[in-house]
Amino acid sequence: MRTVVGDNDGQRDGHPHPQMANERERDSGHTQATVTQLRNILSADHFRDWYRERQFRQNIENGTPYFNKSGYVPDPEYHNPSNLLQCHRKIYYQQHNAPAEQSDPEGIFWFGTRFEEDIVFPFLQQEVTGSDRYVQNSVWIDHSIETEVGKLRIKGTTDPVIVDPDAVPILPTEIKTKSSIKDLTSPSRHHKAQLHAYMAGLSDEYDVDLTEGVLMYADRDSFDVVFFHVDFDEEFWKDIVLSWANEQTEYRLDKNLPPAVPESSWECKYCSYQERCGKGNSGHSDLGVRGLILGCTTYPREKISEYLQSDNDNRLTPTLAGLYPQLADSHGVHPWYCPDCDFIFDWKTINRMSTNRTNPLCPNCAKENSLSELTVQSPVLNS
C-alpha cells in the first residue's frame, strides 16, 4: 500500500500548516486589538464624553447654543419660573455659577422630557383638542413687572398649553414627575409659583385673563398621575412670589450672600452646594461663589471641567488634582501654602491628599517640632 504524504485539513505530519498558523495568529492579534478598543469605548469616561458632546450638538440643533457656554451670569433682575420660591442661597450660588458638588439628575430630566412629549402631549392631543381647542407643546414667556426694587423680568418656557384656534392660551399646564405620588395631597409652593408665573406672563403677552392652570404629577414607577387645578391667587403672586423675587434681586444687586434658610425642608438634602454653604462635612461654611473648596472631593468631573473652562484663572485644589490628573495638566493646580512659615510648596511635592478638614502638615514646620496645617493660597477661594 502506498502512503501519500501531503496536506490534510491544513496539517502536515500532525502539525498546523505554517500559513494557516500565521493567519490564526494574525486573527488572534486582531481580535485582541478589537476587544481592547471596545474595552476603551465601553467605559464610563467614554460614555460621559459622548453624552456631553451629544448635549452640545443638540443645543446647537435646537437653537439654544448659549446653553453650551460656561460662566454666563444672568442679570440680577432676571428670574426663571422654575427657580421661584426656592432657597435664596442655593439660587444665588447657581446663578453665579458656583461649582456644583453633585451631578445634575440627568436621568430624572430625561424621564420628565420623555413623559411629557411621549405620554402627556399625545394624551392632550387626543382627549382635549377639538374644533375650538388645540394644544401647543410650549410657549416662551418674557414678562416684565414693575416692583419696589425696579423692573423684574421672568423668562422661561412653559409646558403644554391649551390654546384656541388663534393660538391664544386658554389653560397652561405644568408637568412634574416624582419617585412617588402616594402621599401627595397638594402641589408644592414652588410649583404653584412656577405655574403662576406662566399664567401672569401669558395673560400679559396675549392680553387675556388666565385665572386657572393645571399641575400634573406623575409617578415614575407606576405612571399613576394626579391633577391639581390651581386658581390664580393675586395675593400669593404679589405678596409671596414677587416678594421672593425682589429679595433675590436685592441679594444679587448688592452681592450679599443670602442666609442659609431653605424654603422647604427637603432642599438641603438634595442641594449641590452643601459643603460651600455649611451643611456638609468639610467644616467650611458661608463661602462665596468662586473657587473649589479645599478638602471637598464630591465634585463630579464634568462640574469641575465646566468651572475650570469658565475662567482661565480657575485652578484645581491639590486634592482634586490627585483625583483628576488630566485636568491638572490642562488647567493647573493651586500650590500648598503654610501660613506659619510663609512657604509655598508645589502640590506634587506633598504626598498626601487632604480629606475633609484634615490637611497635610507643613514639612518645614515639622522639622522645628511645630504642627502647622497647609492650606491653599488662592485669591478667589473665599470670594
Average pLDDT over residues 203-217: 97
User: Any idea what the CATH number is for the domain that residue 235 is in?
Assistant: 3.90.320.10
Q: Does residue 202 sit in helix, strand or coil? A: helix
206/246 same-domain check: yes
Tell me: pLDDT of 165 over 90: yes
CB crowding 276-309: b at 16 or more within 10 Å, else e: bbebbebebeebbbbbbbbbbbbbbbbbbbbbbe
Q: Would residue 276 count as lying in a domain?
A: no
Beta bridge partners of 15: 12
250/314 same-domain check: no
Q: Would residue 157 count as lying in a domain?
A: yes
Nearest to 321 by CA among 290, 287, 354, 360: 354
Residue pair 333/344 in contact (Cβ under 8 Å)? The answer is no
| Tens digits of residue pLDDT in 315-368 | 999 989 989 999 999 999 999 999 999 999 998 888 654 444 457 889 999 999
What pLDDT sits at residue 16? Answer: 57
What pLDDT sits at residue 182? Answer: 92
SS3 content of the chain, % helix, strand, coil (to 5): 40, 20, 40
Residue pair 316/324 in contact (Cβ under 8 Å)? The answer is yes
What pLDDT sits at residue 353? Answer: 46
Mean pLDDT in the chain? Answer: 87
Tell me: pLDDT of 3 over 80: no
Task: Kindly state the DSSP code that residue 347 receives in the 8-state scheme.
Answer: G
Q: Would residue 166 count as lying in a domain?
A: yes
Highest mean pLDDT pick, 12-21, 47-56, 195-204? 195-204
What nine digits make up the cell of 224? 399613576
User: Of 2-6, 229-233, 360-364, where does mean pLDDT reach its minimum?
Assistant: 2-6
What gap in Å lies between CA 271 and CA 273, rounded to an integer?
5
96/118 same-domain check: yes
What pLDDT sits at residue 88? Answer: 97
Q: Would residue 335 count as lying in a domain?
A: yes
| Tens digits of residue pLDDT in 81-128 | 999 999 999 999 999 999 999 998 889 999 999 999 999 999 999 999
247/341 same-domain check: no
Please give the tally of structural domains in the chain.
3
Q: What percent of the chain has pLDDT over 90?
A: 60
Q: Would residue 140 count as lying in a domain?
A: yes
57/85 same-domain check: no
Task: Kindly state the DSSP code that residue 316 receives in the 8-state scheme.
Answer: B
48/184 same-domain check: no
Q: Does residue 31 sit in helix, strand or coil? A: helix
Average pLDDT over residues 38-58: 80
100/233 same-domain check: yes
What pLDDT sits at residue 312? Answer: 79
What pLDDT sits at residue 122? Answer: 95
Q: Would residue 328 count as lying in a domain?
A: yes
281 pLDDT tier (thresholds 50, 70, 90): confident
Q: Would residue 12 count as lying in a domain?
A: no
User: Of 15-29, 230-244, 308-322, where does mean pLDDT reach its minimum?
Assistant: 15-29
Q: How far is CA 363 from the centre of its chain?
A: 39
Q: Does residue 95 sit in helix, strand or coil? A: helix
300/332 same-domain check: yes
Residue pair 157/139 in contact (Cβ under 8 Å)? The answer is yes
Residue pair 108/304 in contact (Cβ under 8 Å)? The answer is no
160/181 same-domain check: yes
Q: What are phi and psi of 135, to 5 degrees?
A: -125, 130
What distances in angstroms separate CA 282 from CA 149, 294, 303, 304, 354, one per listed residue? 37, 8, 18, 18, 11
190/162 same-domain check: yes
Nearest to 212 by CA among 235, 191, 228, 236: 228
Give every strand in the sheet of 161-163, ordered side by side: 134-136, 161-163, 169-178, 212-219, 225-231
Highest mean pLDDT pick, 18-22, 201-205, 377-381? 201-205
> Across the chain, how many H-helices and E-strands are there?
14, 13
Burial of 258 (0-12, 13-18, 19+ CB in 10 A): middle
303: Cβ contacts below 8 Å, ≥ 6 apart:
99, 100, 101, 102, 103
Domain span holding position 366: 290-376
What pLDDT sits at residue 355? Answer: 41
Tell me: pLDDT of 173 over 80: yes
Tell me: pLDDT of 278 over 60: yes
Residue pair 355/280 in contact (Cβ under 8 Å)? The answer is no
57/106 same-domain check: no
Beta bridge partners of 147: 150
205/122 same-domain check: yes
What nine digits make up the cell of 73? 451670569
Q: What is the CA radius of gyration of the chain?
A: 29
Q: Would residue 107 count as lying in a domain?
A: yes
